[in-house]
Structure 1
Amino acid sequence: MNLPKVVADLVETQNSFDSVAYANCFSETAVVFDEGKTHNGKKEIERWIADSNERYKATIKPVGFEEKETESLLMAETSGNFPGSPIVLTYHMEIADGLIQSLKVTG
């Protein structure tokens, strides 16, 4: 599967539980929507993913990728320490200048 560099980097850093490198995939003003919460800015995103990594130990395996007009969709089998694992989640991303501007994770 041919993924844009920042998406491939996001997958790699998630699977190695590297929250600093994960956050570096985002712009300084990026926004993440996950589990009913909003996380604003790179530092908050780093804290969110570090906490998520500690709680869930989730890894992702891309199963599909689609680019639309303003949005990129990564469908990934997500496995970890949470009920219903594994599950296919969709990562809705807006990407600009090689960085993720927004990410929304849906089931």
Structure 2
Amino acid sequence: MNLPKVITDLVNAQNRFDSIAYSNCFSETAVVFDEGKTHKGRSDIQNWIEESNQKYRSVMKPLEYTENGTTSVLSAECSGTFPGSPIILKFHFDIVDDQIQHLKVTE
């Protein structure tokens, strides 16, 4: 599967539980929406993923990727220490200048 470098970097950071590398995939003003909560800015995103990593130990296995301009969707099997694991989630990205501007995670 041919993924943009920033998404490959994001998946690799997630699978290493590296919250700093993960948050560095985002712009300073990026917004993430996950589990009914909004996280704004790289610092907030780093705190969110660090907490999520400690709580769920989730790893991602990319399954499918589609792209339309700056908008793309990655379907990935996510497994970890959460109820219902593994689950397939969709990661909806807006990527500008090789940085994630917006991410929304859905089932």
Considering the TM-score relative to the shorter chain, is it more than 0.5?
yes
TM-score (norm 2): 0.98
Alpha-carbon distance in 2 for matches of 1:82, 1:22: 20
Alpha-carbon distance in 2 for matches of 1:71, 1:4: 12
Instruction: State the partner residue of 1:98.
Output: 98
Structure 1: which 5+ residue stretches go unaligned?
none
Instruction: State the partner residue of 1:54.
Output: 54
Alpha-carbon distance in 2 for matches of 1:70, 1:49: 23
TM-score (norm 1): 0.98
Q: What count of residue pairs does the alignment treat as equivalent? A: 107
Residue type at the aligned position of 1:40: K
Residue type at the aligned position of 2:85: S
Alpha-carbon distance in 2 for matches of 1:70, 1:6: 13
CA RMSD of aligned residues (A): 0.6
Structure 1 runs of 4+ aligned residues shifted over 3 Å read: none
* Structure 1 position 5, deviation (Å): 0.2
Structure 2: which 5+ residue stretches go unaligned?
none
Task: State the percentage of identical aligned residues.
Answer: 61
Secondary structure of 1:8's match? helix
